[in-house]
């Protein structure tokens, strides 16, 4: 019985660690996107830029390691960052 409880506790701890890890990755991605949108606002991104601007160009630094692509563009008259992360997930961040 002790072995079963030990294995069960180890499993619960492992799941908890994975949840915290994935949560922190998502937060870093959203924070990076918000920083890029704010930099675009300060830089006066033109609404005539249909393709958008790469976030790394706006911020002058590379994105977090799990971000494959980040673009800030004008959508419906508002600035928004579209971030593609590993696994094909897409985040849209707007202030």
Residue extents of the structural domains in the chain: 2-93
Phi then psi for residue 11, to 5 deg, are -65, -45
What's the pLDDT score for residue 20? 85
Q: Count other C-beta atoms under 10 Å from residue 79's C-beta.
A: 21
Query: What length does the chain have?
Result: 95
Residue 86 in tokens: 């590993």
**Percent of the chain scoring above 70 in pLDDT:** 97
**Percent of the chain scoring above 90 in pLDDT:** 32
Q: Give the pLDDT confidence of 47-69 residue by residue, as tens digits.
A: 677 778 899 988 998 888 888 99
């Amino acid at each position: 019985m002790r072995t079963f409880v030990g294995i069960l506790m180890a499993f619960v701890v492992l799941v908890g660690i994975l949840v915290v890890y994935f949560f922190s990755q998502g937060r870093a991605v959203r924070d990076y996107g918000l920083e890029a949108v704010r930099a675009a606002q300060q830089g006066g991104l033109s609404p005539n830029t249909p393709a958008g601007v790469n976030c790394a160009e706006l911020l002058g630094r590379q994105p977090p390691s799990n971000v494959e692509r980040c673009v800030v563009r004008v959508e419906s008259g508002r600035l928004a960052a579209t971030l593609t992360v590993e696994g094909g997930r897409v985040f849209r961040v707007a202030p």
